[in-house]
Amino acid sequence: MTDPSVQPAITFGPRVRKSPFFSATRRYGCKAYSVYNHTYMPLYYESPEADFWRLVRDVTLWDVACQRQVEITGPDATRFTQLLTPRNLSNCAVGQCKYLLIADEDGGIVNDPVLLRLAEDRFWLSLSDSDVLLWAKGVARHAGLDVSLREPDVSPLQVQGPKSAALMRDLFGAWIDELRYFWCRETELDGIPLVVSRTGWSSERGYEVYLSDGAQGDRLWEMIMAAGRPHDIAPGAPSGIRRIEGAMLSYGADMTLAENPFELGFGRLVDLDMDADYIGKAALRRIAAEGAARRLVGLEIGGPPLSAGNEEPWPLRAGSAAVGRLTSCVHSPRLEKNIGLAIVAVAHAEEGGRLEVETPGGALEATVVPTPFYDPKKTLAAG
């Protein structure tokens, strides 16, 4: 029997894919990894807290090659892409990006990718952690639409933080200032083929740089690092602290196939009235008519700092009644509070409601509060 507080290792093997930036992340001292879309994903360098402060004060470079892409091309690419999502794409211009949900027949969430429209008939879905290529291929089998589906050799980096705009201008030139929120552009850097978008998963100013030639990963990483030095760049990774402050959801934790868009407050991503068909339409109409039984809410949680967050969903109680689960939580060193996201029965979803969180260390008091927990510029409203 061994001390379970000793942190086990991750072992690197050929079953899980390495990002084109993997060697760089090892060289720069990444201390912990997970696996995302069958690909190693860096989690932090100095520490989750130290990385957070670099993200919100300076600029950070993240290997998120694990955000694999599904490319949809062919004469029916537009119709097929619309078939996959309840979001109305009729106003999605070439060069535009859209955050959207992919739902199954029951309205359950298969994935929450960012869509990039690169041409009239060429789309990328930049994925969270599920095999959307298999889903899309399965759907396409009998859909009667002329499309090609594949995972291209495309690996995103994120350049996130308040100094990201200055860094990106140094690298790419003045057009970066004209790149609007949730728009993208195909470009290159010293011959390396790229797409740059003004998107990201930080709630800070930021960009994504999609590398279209995996062999150039190390060179691209070092070019961005070199250009970033005057801007105090640091290696980083998706920040659990910052994304919960911004109430950005994490697929697998805060939403799964068992949740629907209305439970998550994503009604704006569902068009119940459009003529075009999409998967889940009938179920989502029914759910909208009946009203969702649960709702995602923000919680402030008492007790000592929950710096390590929750290892698994924690049950929520109101008195003796089970009313839901805490899906993600963390201690925000900026807010000096424990904050979290939870899915609770609607009767307990009102602001100011008091709940109890059952943690492995005992019960903690929690209060339902509005989200985002921190959002000086309301950058989340658009997209």
Q: By the 8 A CB rule, do 244 and 328 touch?
A: yes
**361 is a contact residue toward its own copies (CB under 8 A):** no
Six token digits for residue 377: 């510029």
Measured from the CB atom, is 11 or 320 closer to its own copies?
11
Measured from the CB atom, is 287 or 342 closer to its own copies?
342
Which of 75, 94, 119, 138 is close enough to bind its own copies by CB under 8 A?
138
Binding letters toward its own copies, positions 271-300, x by CB under 8 A: --------x---------------------
Whole-angstrom distance, CA of residue 251 vs CA of residue 248: 10
Task: Give the CA distances from residue 129 to residues 10, 136, 328, in Å, rounded to whole numbers and listed in that order.
Answer: 18, 14, 16
Map tokens 């949740």 to a residue.
259
Give 246's contacts (C-beta < 8 A, 6+ positions apart). Answer: 202, 203, 372, 373, 374, 375, 380
Measured from the CB atom, is 30 or 157 closer to its own copies?
30
Neighbours of 199 (CB within 10 A): 23
**43 is a contact residue toward its own copies (CB under 8 A):** yes
- Shortest distance, position 331 Cβ to its own copies, whole Å: 14
Which of 16, 192, 274, 369 is close enough to bind its own copies by CB under 8 A?
16
Neighbours of 374 (CB within 10 A): 18
**162 is a contact residue toward its own copies (CB under 8 A):** no
Q: Which stretch binds its own copies (CB under 8 A): 8-16, 175-183, 284-292, 350-358?
A: 8-16
Map tokens 């100013």 to a residue.
205
Measured from the CB atom, is 258 or 272 closer to its own copies?
258
Whole-angstrom distance, CA of residue 261 vs CA of residue 267: 6
Could you give the dihedral angle defined by the CA atoms of residues 101, 80, 115 and 129, in that order, rounded to the nearest 10 degrees? 50
**155 is a contact residue toward its own copies (CB under 8 A):** no
Which of 15, 229, 377, 378 is close enough to bind its own copies by CB under 8 A?
15
Checking phi first, is residue 35 left (phi over 0); if not, alpha (psi -120 to 50) or beta? beta
Six token digits for residue 241: 């602290």
Measured from the CB atom, is 137 or 169 closer to its own copies?
137
- Shortest distance, position 161 Cβ to its own copies, whole Å: 21
Which residues ranging from 296 to 325 are in contact with its own copies (CB under 8 A)? 309-313
- Shortest distance, position 132 Cβ to its own copies, whole Å: 7
Contacting residues toward its own copies, per CB under 8 A: 1-2, 4, 7-16, 18, 26-35, 38, 43-44, 104-105, 110, 129-143, 240, 250-253, 257, 279, 309-313, 327-328
